[in-house]
Chain A
Amino acid sequence: MADRPASETPIGSNLPPLSLHVPEPRFRPGDPVDYSHLAIPPAGAQPRPDEGCPASETGPLCTDLIRVLDDSHQAVGPWDPKLDAETLRRMLRVMALTRAFDDRMYRGQRQGKTSFYMKCTGEEATSVASAFALADDDMVFPSYRQQGILIARGYPIVDMINQIYSNRADKLKGRQLPIMYSSREHNFFTISGNLATQYPQAAGWAMASAIRGDSRIASAWVGEGSSAEGDFHAAMTFATVYNAPVVFNIVNNQWAISSFSGFAGAERATFASRAVGYGMAGLRVDGNDPLAVYAAARWAANRARSNMGPTLIEHFTYRAEGHSTSDDPGQYRSAQEREEWPLGDPIMRLKRHLIARGEWSVEQHAAMDAALVDEVKAATKEAEKNGILGHGLHHPFRTMFEDVFEDLPWHLQEQSEQAMRERRIKWPEWKES
Chain B
Amino acid sequence: MSETIAPVRRLNMIEAINDALDVMMARDPDVVVFGEDVGFFGGVFRATAGLQKKYGKTRVFDTPINECGIIGAAVGMGAYGLRPVPEIQFADYIYPGLDQLISEAARLRYRSAGEFIAPMTVRSPFGGGIFGGQTHSQSPEALFTHVAGLKTVIPATPYDAKGLLISAIEDNDPVIFFEPKRIYNGPFNGYYDKPVEPWAKHDGSEVPEGYYSIPLGKARIAREGEALTVIAYGTMIHVAAAVCAEKGVDAEIIDLRSLVPLDIDTVQKSVEKTGKCLIVHEATRTCGFGAELSALVQERCFYHLEAPIERVTGFDTPYPHSLEWAYFPGPVRIGEALDRLLKA
* Contact (Cβ within 8 A) A405 B151: yes
A200-B68, A237-B66, A404-B148 known; A171-B76 Cβ under 8 A = no
Which listed residue (B73, B115, B172) contacts A207, Cβ 8 A?
A: B73
B72 at the interface (CB under 8 A from A): yes
Interface residues on B, range: 35 or more
B80 interface residue, CB < 8 Å from A? yes
B116→A189 contact, CB < 8 A: yes
B221 CB–A CB distance under 8 Å: no
Taking CB atoms, residues of chain B closer than 8 Å to A183 are 115
In the bound complex, do residue A182 and residue B104 qualify as a contact, i.e. CB atoms below 8 Å apart?
Answer: no
Interface residues of A in 168-183 (CB under 8 A from B): 171-173, 175-176, 180, 182-183
Query: Which residues of B61-75 have CB atoms within 8 Å of chain A's CB atoms?
Result: 63-64, 66, 68-69, 71-75
| Interfacial chain B residues near A206, Cβ < 8 Å | 76
- The CA of A212 and the CA of B77, in the complex, are separated in Å by 11
Enumerate A199-230 residues with CB–CB distance to B below 8 Å: 199-212, 218, 230
Beta-carbon contact of B99 and A205 below 8 Å: no
B111 within 8 A of A: yes
A190 within 8 A of B: yes
Residue of B nearest to A414 (CB): B264
B341 to chain A, nearest CB (A): 27
- Closest residue to A412 on the B side, CB-wise? B148
Report B109-141 residues with CB < 8 Å from chain A CB.
Answer: 109-117
B81 contacts partner chain A, Cβ-Cβ < 8 Å: yes
Contacts of B173 in A (CB 8 A): 405-406
Query: Which partner residue on chain A sits nearest B115 by CB separation?
Result: A184
Number of interface residues of A (CB under 8 A): 45
**Is B48 among interface residues, defined by CB-CB distance under 8 A?**
no
In the complex, A404→B264 CA distance in Å?
19
CA distance A204 to B171 in the complex (A): 20
B32 is an interface residue with CB less than 8 A from chain A: yes
Q: How far is the CA of A285 from the CA of B32 in the complex (A)?
A: 37
Residues of A within 8 A of B71 (CB): 200
Of A194, A204, A231, the most chain B CB neighbours within 10 A belong to: A204
Question: B32-54 vs A: 1/0 string, CB under 8 Å?
Answer: 10000000000000000000000
Which single member of B66, B115, B172 contacts A238 (CB below 8 Å)?
B66
Beta-carbon contact of B116 and A199 below 8 Å = no
Judge if B205 is at the interface, Cβ distance under 8 Å.
no
B80 neighbours in A (Cβ, 8 Å): 139, 204-205, 208-209, 212
Q: Which residues of A have CB within 8 Å of B79?
A: 139, 189, 201, 204-205
- B69 CB contact (under 8 Å) in A192, A203, A405, A409: A203
The verdict on A241 contacting chain B, using a C-beta distance below 8 Å, is yes
Residue of A nearest to B148 (CB): A404
| Cβ-neighbour of A172 out of B32, B111, B117 (below 8 A) | B111
Residues of B within 8 A of A (CB): 32, 58-59, 63-64, 66, 68-69, 71-77, 79-82, 84, 96, 99-100, 103-104, 107-117, 148-149, 151, 171-173, 217, 260-262, 264
Known: A200-B73, A203-B69, A234-B69. 19 other contacts (CB 8 A): A184-B116, A190-B108, A194-B104, A197-B104, A199-B72, A203-B72, A204-B74, A204-B80, A204-B84, A205-B79, A207-B73, A208-B32, A208-B80, A231-B72, A231-B100, A238-B63, A238-B72, A403-B113, A404-B149
**Can you name 28 A-B pairs with beta carbons within 8 Å?**
A139-B79, A171-B113, A182-B113, A184-B116, A189-B79, A190-B115, A192-B103, A194-B99, A197-B100, A200-B68, A200-B75, A200-B100, A207-B76, A208-B32, A209-B80, A210-B58, A211-B32, A211-B58, A218-B76, A230-B96, A231-B100, A235-B69, A238-B73, A404-B148, A405-B151, A406-B109, A406-B172, A409-B217
